[in-house]
A = this chain, B = another copy of it.
């Protein structure tokens, strides 16, 4: 891997806000390309998010089935949510898991913090593995409606393969889990 990356870097010359929504802000950024030419980049600014792969004592994962207006369909996903301003990602992950599924977890492990759409958005999603679950109380937001599913490894893989699961973060976490299980001889 080349250590000198000057030939790849874009320099920002200007940024104009063209839309401020309730949580996203859309900007048009003028950049100088590595070859000295100028270009415009549409960038959606996002507060960041969290998601959780919660594994139950009977070796199932908790997924939520919810209507996603952006996609105009129901999507089956790992529990997830936006970061509140100033909120620590792990605190946010614990809150979202409990609010959406009604479960708390005693064991938390950071898996990866990844970008979801680097071509046009800065959303950084912090993902966690949660185990040692206990039932608590579901507490959805006023505008949130979802069903909780308990899904085995075999079902999860089948659901990715037949398209019932069609969400990048969820697929990443499921295949991490399948890989871990394979390593453990399951």
A residues neighboring B (CB under 8 Å)? 1-2, 5, 7-10, 12, 18-19, 21-24, 26, 28-29, 31, 33-35, 37, 39-44, 46, 49, 65-72, 74-75, 77, 80, 82, 112-125, 142-143, 145-147, 149, 160-161, 163, 166-169, 171-172, 175-176, 178-179, 182-183
Contact B116 A171 (CB under 8 A): no
Contacting residues, chain B, for A22 (C-beta < 8 A) = 40, 42
Cross-chain contact of A145 among B7, B82, B147, B169 (Cβ < 8 A): B7
Residue of B24, B33, B34, B115 near A167 (CB, 8 A) is B115
Which of chain B's residues has its CB closest to A39's CB? B143
Please list 10 pairs of residues, one from A and one from B, whose beta carbons are closer than 8 Å in the complex, sorted by A's number.
A1-B149, A19-B26, A33-B145, A37-B143, A43-B69, A44-B70, A70-B122, A82-B119, A115-B167, A179-B179
With A2-B147, A176-B175: A67-B8 Cβ-Cβ less than 8 Å: yes
A113 with B143: CB separation less than 8 A: no
The CA of A10 and the CA of B74, in the complex, are separated in Å by 10
Q: In the complex where A44-B121, A117-B123 touch, is A1 in contact with B69 (Cβ < 8 A)?
A: no
A95 to chain B, nearest CB (A): 16
Give Cα A22–Cα B12 distance, bound, in whole angstroms.
18
Q: Chain B nearest CB: distance from A42 CB in Å?
A: 4
Which residues of B are found within 8 Å of A167, using beta-carbon distances? Answer: 114-115, 118
Closest to A34 in B: B145
Pick from B69, B114, B149: contact of A41, CB below 8 A: B69
